[in-house]
Structure 1
Amino acid sequence: MMLKFTLLPALASALALFSQHVLAAPAPIGGFIPAGNDTRPVIRADSSGKLQDSLLNERGELLSDARIVLESRQSPGFAYGSQKVRGVNIGGWLVAEPWITPSLFESTGDSRVIDEYTFGQYANNAYGRMQSHWASFYTQSDFNQIAAAGLNHVRIPIGYWAFDTSAGEPYVHSNQADYLESAIQWCRNAGLKVIIDLHGAPGSQNGFDNSGRKGSANWPNAQSNIDRSVNVISSIAARYAKYDGTVTSIELLNEPAGFLGGNMLPAAKQYYNSGYYAARSKFGNAAIMIHDAFQDLSYWNGFMQPQQYQEVLLDTHIYQVFSPSEVALSENDRLSNFCNMINDLQTSNRNLYTVVGEWSNAPTDCAKYLNGRGVGARYDGSYPGSYYVGSCSDKTGDGSAFSSSYKDYLRRMFETQVSVYERASGWVFWTWKTESAADWDYQRGLKGGWITYNLNSRPNARC
């Protein structure tokens, strides 16, 4: 609930005295960016009305004009905005990707199998292959290791087809939702928090293979696609609400491709509103996460604000490898680019708590199939329309070919990004493990020493 008023001098004096004597350590002024054109300072109060911020400014002067904002009535089980999210994605498991597990796709012996849609369409014994993959790729041991690495979150992608193939899609529609439930239980055992991420929507929201179907992004072109997505979110919220306190957030949709123009952004905003209420009606405490749709963070200023919306998080993804100019960046320029993001992230975090929900250590796109099964890399010039920057032979794989200097570079990449992203509300690394892409692999990074167990010590950070 948001209350806006100008404080009368007498009331202001009384409240200032109250805040000085009752609040042991007032937080810095302001928990939210001012709504609309309202530039008055923000004073936060909890649901009982107790002030959480001082009524004095940095110079000790009384704030005679302020907005008082009652904090969220939701209790998601993690203090987003004050605690930092430190997590990893559980990529390539319940939404299979060729570059994370090349063997799963190559073992089909069919080059037409490039995503989960074509896997179900063309792979021999697709059901059995997927069952074997789900049963073996992640276990309780992985989540124990994640917790032991000092992390507090996992983000688990899942596709809509785990819940709904009513339009006759050829996906393997089986017990993915049961495996998700097992993962939530493993996280509860390990003391980890879970973000459930709807990674693929009907019609595909971006045309990427990780949406389930590579090609066109047809999700916004039919209301039935959006309606089905809302129903899936409702099903997710209803099924996993019993894990309140472990499941702390539901992400409504991964990476809708706003850069495509057309009706993608209007559809995404409409869907975010509908999805918010669908999730809230079934799972009242979970924070609701929305993706920035590849727009500047400032695009979302004033969107889904209190009082109408509570506990909304903004997810942004930061990679610098998906264009020829990015893979050609020098180390100095790359690290400087990260540092230059601090102001935008901090500003966004005052609008909606902002989490960098995907990022990696990789300075190249050399990982096999990263750009799609059978597609080359920009770094070595094998991607259509790219040019040669360098050899991929010592930039990816299992990490055994990494030189000491390259590992040092990866270490600086990691520590700099952690330092930058924690200026906002935290981060979720992509991904915990891969078959053969050590530059994207948190587990291998820990073993190889370019990712640290002590996340509070970052002597190699640029900023």
Structure 2
Amino acid sequence: MANLKILLLVTLGLSVGESASVNNTRPKTGCSDGKVRGVNLGGWFVMEPWITPKLFEEVNNGGDKIVDEYTYAQYLDPQIYKERMIRHWESFYSKEDLQTLVNTGISHFRIPVAYWYWDIEDGEPFPQPNMNDNDFQSPLFYLKRCLQWIEELGAQAILDLHTAPGSQNGYDNSGRRFPRIEEAQWTGSNYPVTIHNIARTLRIIKKYSAFVKNWMDTGVIRKQTIYGIGILNEPHICAGWNFNGEKWDICRDDFYPKAVETVRSVFHNYGPKIIIDVAGRAFTDFDDIFADPSGIEIDAHNYQCFGKQWNDVAQAWDGWQQHLEISCNNKDPIPESPLPVWAGEFSLAITECQKYLQGGYQINYVPPDFDPSVCNYYNSNFDGYSWDYKEFLQNFFLAQIDSFEVGAGWVFWTGKTEDHCAPEWDYLFLLKHDILPKDLCNRPHYC
């Protein structure tokens, strides 16, 4: 481990015993119009098997027991777990990756973070939180370094609590996958009698907000570097998809207002934006939730690939044109929102064929809704695709952001995938292959 520490210091351009310092020069970035134009750093601080499939395949030994970060920590030897995570945190993104993105006009980076960096309870498999952000064995060392890179490049960060104890949606991106959303335990089986995990999530939000504020107060980063604090990614238990809408009041009346006040209690009058997930609801469902709506923004994820609806579009003769028309129409409900809204996740995927994407890690992954012939086409080698399809992808990106910029902007999911295994989700890959604009500030429009 000592050799690894020296290697990390060399990678950082530091001598042993020297720590990274904040560059006080803040270069201009973005397009100077106030819009959020961002990229998610997905799969880095919260792993997802479809983003980093080899990280999971290598430890499963032909099985499928390790399917998320919870089981990654649960079934691996603790030392092996630690070493694998350190290598991943150190290497998955580089400052050069972020520089490449900033050079095109990207101004914001949304960073998913995990609750277990700050808090675990008995029975959870994660290591005890290592709060020493100068220790290269702590994830907070790499998170701090990432924020300092972002600051040095003149961009801003959106920190997003991506996981909650018990899982807020049952997906692997929550840190713990369940076969069905009804089995996720964030709300407890008899809410509001049992609210342990919701109350714990509020305490975690306070801990992680206080940690970030301390970085601001001590000069590790400037307060302007943090654009927003996301209180919880995709709490789909609140969406009502599986509960006939009966659980929406958990977020609307209980969690969201308390989480907003928790963040405000930490940052007081000079705080970042407070970001709430749309949770699958209409923008009008957010009318009058907050007594004081100032500084609150909605993150509305917008995908055109999941479920039977998009399966049907993918098989239609005019499917690509349908996607373009739908994308242009996405702007229509935005003015109805009582709060500023931006698309915190979207991609260029129009199927769920990507390995492990929908349903998670399985030995023989079969997408739940798509016809094999559709997946055989869309999982082909990218270089072999027709120019018609590549032109569609160019227009699909432009059409989506044309709509999103009617609101506060957008953040693409995601910055990169392991070995560029998921091209339609991989901003750096798409940029390199001339699908995405090299200059977002002087780009063509589709809609």
TM-score (norm 1): 0.77
Pairs within 5 Å for 1:285-364: 285-304=271-290, 308-329=292-313, 330-348=319-337, 351-364=338-351
Which of 234, 237, 242 is the matching residue for 1:260?
242
Offset at residue 397 of structure 1 (A)? 6.7
Deviations 1:133-154 (Å, cap 9, x if unpaired)? 1111022222212211210000
The answer as to 2:216 corresponding to 1:245 is no
Offset at residue 314 of structure 1 (A)? 0.5
- CA distance in 2: counterparts of 1:190 and 1:358, whole angstroms: 22
CA 1:268–1:167 in 2, change beyond 3 Å: closer, same or farther? farther
- CA distance in 2: counterparts of 1:415 and 1:235, whole angstroms: 39
Is the contact between residue 344 and residue 410 of structure 2 (CA under 8 Å) also seen in structure 1? yes
Q: Secondary structure at the match of 2:375?
A: coil
Name the aligned partner's letter for residue 142 of structure 1. D
Q: Which has the larger radius of gyration?
A: 1
The aligned residue for residue 95 of structure 2 is: 140
Is the contact between residue 29 and residue 102 of structure 2 (CA under 8 Å) also seen in structure 1? no
Is the contact between residue 208 and residue 214 of structure 1 (CA under 8 Å) also seen in structure 2? yes
- CA distance in 2: counterparts of 1:439 and 1:85, whole angstroms: 21
Would you tell me which structure has more helix in proportion to its own residues? 2
CA 1:373–1:235 in 2, change beyond 3 Å: closer, same or farther? same
Deviations 1:408-448 (Å, cap 9, x if unpaired)? 11101100001010011100000000020011000001011
CA 1:118–1:324 in 2, change beyond 3 Å: closer, same or farther? same
The aligned residue for residue 34 of structure 2 is: 83
Q: Secondary structure at the match of 1:289?
A: strand
- CA distance in 2: counterparts of 1:343 and 1:213, whole angstroms: 35
Which of 165, 173, 177 is the matching residue for 1:202?
165
Pairs within 5 Å for 1:89-168: 89-108=40-59, 109=61, 110-124=63-77, 125-168=80-123
Name the aligned partner's letter for residue 114 of structure 1. V
Is the contact between residue 376 and residue 383 of structure 1 (CA under 8 Å) also seen in structure 2? no
TM-score (norm 2): 0.79
- CA distance in 1: counterparts of 2:125 and 2:263, whole angstroms: 27
The aligned residue for residue 220 of structure 1 is: 187
More divergent stretch after superposition (417-426 vs 292-301): 292-301
The aligned residue for residue 415 of structure 2 is: 432
Offset at residue 393 of structure 1 (A)? 4.1
Name the aligned partner's letter for residue 437 of structure 1. A
The aligned residue for residue 357 of structure 2 is: 370
- Structure with the greater relative contact order (CA < 8 A, sep ≥ 6): 1 or 2? 2
Offset at residue 333 of structure 1 (A)? 1.3
Deviations 1:52-71 (Å, cap 9, x if unpaired)? xxxxxxxxxxxxxxxxxxxx
Deviations 1:180-239 (Å, cap 9, x if unpaired)? 111111100111101100001011000011000011221112422112211111122111
- CA distance in 2: counterparts of 1:280 and 1:397, whole angstroms: 48
Offset at residue 453 of structure 1 (A)? 1.8
CA 1:458–1:324 in 2, change beyond 3 Å: closer, same or farther? farther
Would you tell me which structure has more strand in proportion to its own residues? 1
The aligned residue for residue 12 of structure 2 is: none
The aligned residue for residue 8 of structure 2 is: none
The answer as to 2:278 corresponding to 1:278 is no
Offset at residue 128 of structure 1 (A)? 1.5
Offset at residue 375 of structure 1 (A)? 7.4
CA 1:249–1:336 in 2, change beyond 3 Å: closer, same or farther? same
- CA distance in 2: counterparts of 1:143 and 1:268, whole angstroms: 34
- CA distance in 1: counterparts of 2:55 and 2:43, whole angstroms: 10
More divergent stretch after superposition (102-111 vs 215-224): 215-224
Offset at residue 328 of structure 1 (A)? 3.0
Offset at residue 167 of structure 1 (A)? 3.5
Q: Which runs of 5 or more residues in structure 2 are unaligned? A: 1-27, 131-137, 189-193, 314-318
Offset at residue 389 of structure 1 (A)? 6.3
Deviations 1:218-276 (Å, cap 9, x if unpaired)? 11124221122111111221111203100120010000112233764222231221211
- CA distance in 2: counterparts of 1:86 and 1:139, whole angstroms: 20
Offset at residue 398 of structure 1 (A)? 6.6
Deviations 1:381-406 (Å, cap 9, x if unpaired)? x434x352634345247733333221
Deviations 1:148-175 (Å, cap 9, x if unpaired)? 1210000000111111112331135552
Name the aligned partner's letter for residue 119 of structure 1. Y
CA 1:235–1:178 in 2, change beyond 3 Å: closer, same or farther? farther
Identity percentage over the alignment? 36
Is the contact between residue 202 and residue 259 of structure 2 (CA under 8 Å) also seen in structure 1? yes
Q: Secondary structure at the match of 1:87?
A: strand
- CA distance in 2: counterparts of 1:397 and 1:373, whole angstroms: 20
